[in-house]
A and B are shown apart, each in its own frame.
Chain A
Amino acid sequence: MRSKSAAAPFGLWMLIFTIVPMAIVVYFAFTDPDGQFTLANILEIRNYAKPFLSSIYLGAIATVICLVLAYPLSFIIARSTERVQQTMVMIVMIPMWMNFLLRTYAWMSILEENGFLNQFFGLFGLHFNMINTSGAIVLGMVYNFLPFMVLPLYSVMAKMDDRVIEAARDLGCNHFEVFRRIILPLSTPGIVSGITMVFVPAVSTFVISKLLGGGKNYMIGDIIEAMFVGSASNYNLGAALSLVLMILMLLCMAFTRKVDNDEETIGGMMA
């Protein structure tokens, strides 16, 4: 009860910056430019099924790669000495402090037809077509969003009690069994939040696909951007696309969380 009055400013904040904008998005999605109610925008979306699917596809690949890279990395960091932990977390985070656009432009100049990598391969008479491919987009996503996977994984793993792992070995687990029965279930909350934090921005990105995909591989973010600032300018359709994207994300998250919860109920009950 006593927290009620203290929560008031935050309630106001949520109202102004979350509820109201959401309502505006919904309003635009269901109206035409004259402000009349219509379902045309929503129906129009079926024409954009392909970019939707390719966004989810590329986002999912990037998320899986991030998880595969980040899991062992986080484990190694969490098992290191305090000093090494701090340094390694810092190294993971430093690229995040660089401007996002700058980082992505840097990859552009590395991957270009006459970019850094091709100049290097040229020494051996090789040439690769790297820029403007979906591979380049996935690379950009993994590079930009990897820290968002590492940090939640690292934080659950650092909290893991060494003695719990020792107890499992004591009770007969070899290293694989320790991983399967203890480390994996205890790190599941970190996996879930890592996936959320990578998948969501990856699916809706437009900068990465624009710069590294060269406009050939349209993602849903590019289309939404075009609806608002580009030539296609159509706020209502843009809002409808955003709304559907958001609902898709929510469904994905609900699914991930359900998988997580099911796993926990198999093992037992956890707060």
Chain B
Amino acid sequence: MLLRFHAAGRDDIHHTPQETFYRKGGCIYMDSKNIIRLENISVSFDDQSVLQNLDLQISDGEFVTLLGPSGCGKTTTLRIIGGFLKPDSGSVFFDDQLVTDLPPHKRPVNTIFQRYALFPHLNVFDNVAFGMQVRKMKKEEIRERVEEMLRLVNLTGFEKRSVNTLSGGQQQRVAIARALAIHPRVLLLDEPLAALDLKLRKDMQAELKNIQKRLGITFIYVTHDQEEALSMSDTVVVMDSGKIQQIGTPQDIYNEPTNAFVADFIGESNILDGVMLSDYLVEFFGRKFSCLDSGFEPNEPVDVVIRPEDIDIVEPIKGDLVGTVTSVTFKGVHYETIVDFKGFKWMIQTTDFYDVDRTIGIKLNPEDIHIMKKSEYSGMFGDYSSYSEEFDEMADPEAALTGEEAEER
């Protein structure tokens, strides 16, 4: 097996053919382009399990997002990759070399921290130059690269400024320039935009994606914001309770969620109990619907996901199901309409207005129905009976915190 450790240069990446290697328990197919591989990682703090037997492979040059609610283990995973935390068990590989015990300063990985963590006693120039000065690079070379990096993040002319006088967005750019200046192979980003306001966050999302494409290095991005994850990533890793729930492209994750947690966390979902009668035929609410899913046992109980924007509203007589509108909220692009079907409330997103108490019918096409296997999350999500946005926000401590932090600025 080729064991080479690429320090900094980007020009010497070898595209070796895919290799197979063996491990006790069987044969694992391995892509040698993997830059980072986590194997069977477990971590617990004070007897509380944070990560359970986590396996993850990250390809070189990818934009990977670890997405999940607070406490799901995403930041812990990032800290293990960065070398700030040693897992209780399991291994971390970098270019197929074991680095589990390597301290942070010996890993070709750099981190952008949540609150930037700039050095308050140094000016912008010295912050960006820091990593190069530690590496004892030539003064001239340092100066050139600092200039180049500041140009990259649009901060030319800020060299002499104290970092304490910069705005949140500017501080974040300095942090990015500082991390990229030493040409890491992988950049770890721990909710880097959480403290910025919405408009700035959108701009920075685009900018980060741009930088990643331009430099072609691997980004591992941690966030609890599903929209951010969907719009920036090549691959999304959805996590909850210390386990990976699903790995896939943003489209996969949205269109083919593997369980009720993923379906609920990524976008809005109506999730119903159903029975898979046979391939391509599912029954719920006492009616049979044709669908595109197969491969289930006959009469296997399943979770049925229907996205609010896929539902067509029709005359009650023409509807597959008939229900009563219980609330309508105007959202700008569409109306968020909550409809009661026999006590189970669905969310429907429609551009047409249907007033409260109106009886409507809905039509479901086979491609609108997505079937998932039953999981530990079944029955926990997907009913909008107790739906209230305010309640939703209150239940997310991170969102509330971010709001306050944004106001401080």
A144→B236 CA distance, assembly (Å): 60
Within 8 A of B (CB), among A136-168: 161, 163-164, 166-168
Given contacts A163-B113, A268-B126, A271-B162, contact A169 B103 (CB under 8 A): yes
| Contact B117–A172 (Cβ < 8 Å) | no
* Bound-complex Cα distance A85 to B63 (A): 42
Which A residues are in CB contact (< 8 Å) with B119?
Answer: 164, 167-168, 182
B164 near A170: Cβ-Cβ < 8 Å? no
Scan residues 221-271 of chain A and give those whose CB is less than 8 A from a CB of chain B: 264, 267-271
Return chain A residues, CB-CB under 8 Å to B131: 171-172
Please pick, from A167, A177, A181, A186, the residue contacting B113 in the complex, using a CB distance under 8 A. Answer: A167
Chain A contact-residue range equals 20 to 34
Q: Contacts A172-B182, A186-B120; is A166 near B113 (CB within 8 Å)?
A: yes
Q: Please choose the segment from B104-112, B227-235, B284-292, B358-366 that sits at the chain A interface, where 4 or more of its residues have CB less than 8 A away.
A: B104-112
A181 contacts across to B, CB distance below 8 A: 130, 134
Are A171 and B162 in contact, CB atoms less than 8 angstroms apart? Answer: no
Complex Cα distance A181/B115, Å? 20
Is the beta-carbon distance between A171 and B130 smaller than 8 angstroms? yes
B residues within 8 A CB of A170?
82, 84, 104-105, 109-111, 179
Q: Is B121 an interface residue (CB 8 A)?
A: yes
Nearest chain B CB to A172's CB is how many angstroms away?
A: 4
For the complex formed, measure the closest distance between the CB of A143 and the CB atoms of chain B, giving whole angstroms. Answer: 33
Please tell me if the beta carbons of B122 and A267 are within 8 angstroms of each other in the complex.
yes
Q: Does B178 contact A (CB under 8 A)?
A: yes
Q: Among A173, A267, A271, which residue has its beta carbon within 8 angstroms of that of B126? A: A267
Flag if B121 contacts A185 (CB, 8 Å).
yes
Residues of A within 8 A of B113 (CB): 163, 166-167
CB of A99 closer than 8 Å to a CB of B? no
Residue A5 lies at the interface, judged by CB distance under 8 Å to chain B:
no
Question: Are B105 and A271 touching (Cβ within 8 A)?
Answer: no
Q: Are A268 and B105 in contact (CB under 8 A)?
A: no
* Contact present for A172 and B134 (CB under 8 Å): yes
Chain A nearest Cβ from B8, distance in angstroms: 11
- Cα separation A170 to B108 with both chains bound (whole Å): 9
Say yes or no: is A174 at the interface (Cβ < 8 Å to chain B): yes
Q: Does B123 contact A (CB under 8 A)?
A: yes
Contact of B121 with A267 in the complex, beta carbons under 8 Å: yes
Bound Cα distance from A172 to B279, whole angstroms: 57
Q: Can you offer 5 A-B residue contacts whose CB atoms are under 8 A?
A: A164-B117, A166-B117, A170-B84, A170-B110, A172-B182
Q: Using CB atoms and an 8 Å cutoff, list the residues of chain A in contact with chain B.
A: 161, 163-164, 166-174, 177, 181-182, 185-186, 264, 267-271
Closest 8 CB pairs of A and B: A268-B123, A171-B131, A163-B117, A167-B117, A172-B134, A268-B122, A169-B104, A269-B162
Other contacts beyond A168-B130, A170-B179, A269-B162: 11, CB < 8 A: A161-B117, A166-B113, A167-B113, A171-B130, A171-B131, A171-B134, A174-B103, A177-B134, A267-B121, A269-B160, A270-B164
